[in-house]
Chains A and B, each alone.
Chain A
Amino acid sequence: MKPAVPLRRSLWPLVTLGLGAGVLTGCSGDSEPTAAAAGDECASLEGETVALVVPYDPGGGYDTYTRLVAPYLEEALGATVVVENQPGAGGLLALNNLLAEDPDGTTLAIMNGVGAGGSSIAGAEGASFSLEDFTYIGRVASDPSLIVTSATGPYQTFEDVRAADQFRWGSTGPGAEDYVTSSLLSAVFDIPGEVITGFPGSGETELAVIQGSVDGMSGNLTSRRGAVEEGTQTPILVVGEEKPDWVPEDVPTVDDLDTTEEQAAILDAHLALIELGRPFVGPPGMDEDVTSCLRGAMDAAMNDPELIEESVQQERELAYLPGEELEGLVQRISDAPPAYGDLLKTFY
């Protein structure tokens, strides 16, 4: 195996080109996936240690995804990749720190698109960055939300919720994903909603939904799967662009709802933020060579059939999106009507 490496290395730019073209034309060509990559662009990273910062405690979704991808990125990059947990301030601490890191590609972080993006759009205290600042390497997973209600409660469809006299949402607190999504839906669809805050985590909020002391909650789509399949929680709305097949046919996505133009504009901006999902990002102003090296390696890693198989096995669905496309999403968010930003400001 060893002698093949130099040959593969010299082929690397071609492979990147081919894969890039494959993605652009929409066909996922996973022809030459795990090439040990280190072309000229990657020369500066060779033998270096790349830190992947997780802004949360070990064991959560972000941590699991990062640890899942890290070995494949290491293989594709030819550099040592280590995962570092840097929890604090709901994930903002690590991203603020990332701003000050050297843009040489040795420090990257996984970002919570809705959490961090929302904070920066709303100009919330604690977020000293804007989404445009970061260098986008590629998205690991999308992060759509699912609105669920108690299976034994009075609200079994989103129409029921829209017609409710008073709907009580459970949430961990202002600025959190569940707070932003439920407040946004209440505001856009004129639901007389009250958000009960202070739950220490989504597990406890779920318990309150099952007990019926709150009417519903918004939460990470994949994490709800067990409860939905077991029938303790009823899914009523997917806040995202795509719906996985385990969600029942009759559950709408936000796009399926009847909306006015004004409502649609706000929802579209929010969907773009949700589509940002969980990307790997680097510090601002990263060198072009390093950026394309990292993007190429990310591309190779995310298309590795072994990684895909492993993610399926873990029920951690991957949703790769190249860095260039993430830049497009960031643009879409920046172009959102001011009403969206004004609305978000009230949620923090």
Chain B
Amino acid sequence: MLSDVISGLTQVFQPVPLMLMFLGIAIGFVVGVLPGLGGAVTLALMIPFTFDMQPVEAFAFLLGMWVVTSTTGDITSVLFGVPGEATSAATVLDGHPMTKRGEGGRALGAVLFSSALGAVFGALVLALSIPVIRPLVLAFAPPEFFALTMLGLTFVVALSGKTLLKGFVMAALGLLVALVGLDPQAGIPRYTFDQLYLWDGIGIVPLVVGLFGGAEVLQLMLSKRSIASGGPAATPEASLSGIGQGCRDVLRHWGVVLRSSAIGTGIGIVPGLGGSVAQFMAYGAAQQSSRTPELFGKGAVEGVIASGAVNNAKDSGSLIPTIGFGIPGGAGSAVLLSAFLVVGLNPGQEMLTTELDVTFSMIWVTVLANFIAVAAAFLLIKPLTRLTFISGPLLVPFLLLLLALGAYTASNNFADVVVMIAAAVIGVLCIRYDWPRVPFLLAVVLGSLAERYLFLSYSLFEWSWLTRPIVLGIGAIIVLAVLAPALRRLRARSRSSRSTDEKDEVAA
């Protein structure tokens, strides 16, 4: 196995694969920065170019491109509040407020460095899982998926901030929105009002772009100032000097990096859950375990670190079922699967035995590509950060174009733009009247998955699925996750005197 590890690395370092990887990284970089056009779509467009390539060359090119998109997507999220990818929405929550405070450089430093570390973590898990890859994938069936979606929903509690009730109301609204579309079991249209567009439900990409990006741009329009005008010391120079501090923040909060990477890899393995869920689970977990949860959403660097690490770890995770069984863990790996066929590789046993060196070359590419992209991003931070000091009215038309394109390119349907605008309106109202947006989005994403897997679990196993060991294990975690904050609060209250209670009120 060790020889395969080394052979995989040397194969990547041949001139042609290396060159192709750089090309892939360059394409992925741009695609990631632009909202809408996602990694999976771009992969599909690039596959025809791999026909004449050797396996290692093809994967250097494709993987190099794909893993970079989620890294650079965070840049747009931090600077403009517009998620560069659907998987970069969580980065907006804290990254953008930091930019507004004039700490854009620090936020970027943190998100990019933690992205690179997340990629290493994911690659390590992928490499270590190779001996157990097949039993690992087989252990997960619809009941386990359902339990995971429930675990995701418990983070609504953490993500609701100080007003739990508002969080639950938003989550309930999100669950209602998740009902729109054909029901997954019987194919009956629900709340579709004779619109074929609604059959597939409300699209996640336009929703994310509108709810977070649209709302920020609308605010910027109304404020008529530059993005980074919030803080007293907000100058480009001050902002840029924070890059190093951002990197140090990552090292200081190494626990957040580890936990988020683990969540990303775990969710990545599960087919169907994907990055739009993983980011908020990691974010929620970071908030729950933070000593200053009240700062989340207002520019907490831990939130930025969590959303950076999770994205890049999840890509490696979703490669696990793809390599082990030819079953993709997400949209991007589904497209990669057709690349396997193009270059004449059969996912499955072959990738774990005779072609093990190719598998390792893929792992190396995910790590190398991320490091190169992060290095390149650091060089580009300067000009990009300066953009946030341009006055709002000049920047807004450009951002509006990005938003509309971002929503439209998801499925070439104008209705998506309408959804984006509606989501932007909801987003602005949420910000104005202080209602949390994240529980809403999380419930939209998880609601339809939870419904699907609950019914599937019952049709497959009736009630016996409740006693499956992994389901019970996840169930125990859910109980702990719900009870722990409550217990902590109870203990704190019984211990502390009245005066500290009052202090809490003020802090809240």
Contact surface of A with B, Cβ cutoff 8 Å: 57-60, 63-64, 67-68, 84-90, 92-93, 96, 125-126, 173-175, 196-201, 203-204, 206-208, 210-211, 213-214, 226-227, 229-230, 232, 310, 313-316, 348
Contacts and interface: CB of A to CB of B under 8 A. Distances in A.
Contacts of A226: 326, 341, 346-348
B220 interface: no
B379 interface: no
A171 B40 CA distance: 24
B335 interface: yes
Nearest to B182: A173
Contacts of A64: 44, 47, 338
Interface stretch (B364-372, B382-390, B454-462): B454-462
A36 to B, nearest CB: 21
A95 B41 CA distance: 22
Contacts of A173: 182, 184-187
Nearest to B336: A59
Contact of B412 (A84, A196, A229, A316): A84
B334 interface: yes
Nearest to A222: B341
B328 interface: yes
Nearest to B322: A203
Q: In the A-B complex, list the 8 residue pairs whose CB atoms are closest, starting with the nearest.
A: A58-B44, A59-B335, A59-B44, A174-B187, A89-B199, A89-B196, A203-B327, A198-B456
A126 B182 CA distance: 11
Given A58-B45, A197-B187, 13 more contacts: A57-B40, A58-B335, A59-B41, A59-B334, A60-B334, A67-B48, A88-B411, A173-B184, A174-B186, A200-B272, A226-B326, A226-B347, A314-B341
Nearest to A63: B44
B51 interface: yes
Nearest to B342: A314
Given A89-B200, A203-B271, A57 B460 contact: no
A207 B199 contact: no
Contact of A230 (B142, B182, B348, B459): B348
28 contacts: A58-B45, A59-B338, A60-B334, A67-B44, A86-B411, A86-B412, A173-B184, A174-B186, A196-B456, A198-B184, A203-B327, A203-B328, A204-B327, A206-B325, A206-B327, A207-B141, A207-B321, A207-B325, A213-B141, A213-B461, A226-B326, A226-B341, A229-B346, A230-B348, A230-B350, A232-B325, A314-B341, A315-B341
Interface in B291-316: none
A227 B348 CA distance: 8
Contacts of B342: 313-315
A208 B326 contact: no
Given A213-B141, A214-B460, A226-B347, A200 B452 contact: yes
Contacts of A96: 196
B186 A197 contact: yes
Contact of A87 (B137, B272, B348, B411): B411
A210 B325 CA distance: 10
Contact of B51 (A125, A200, A203, A314): A314
Nearest to A194: B459
Interface string B127-168: 000000000011001100000000000000000000000000
Given A84-B412, A86-B412, A196-B456, A211 B199 contact: no
Interface string B197-220: 101100000000000000000000
B136 to A, nearest CB: 12
Given A207-B271, A226-B347, A86 B413 contact: yes
A207 B327 contact: yes
Contacts of A204: 271-272, 327
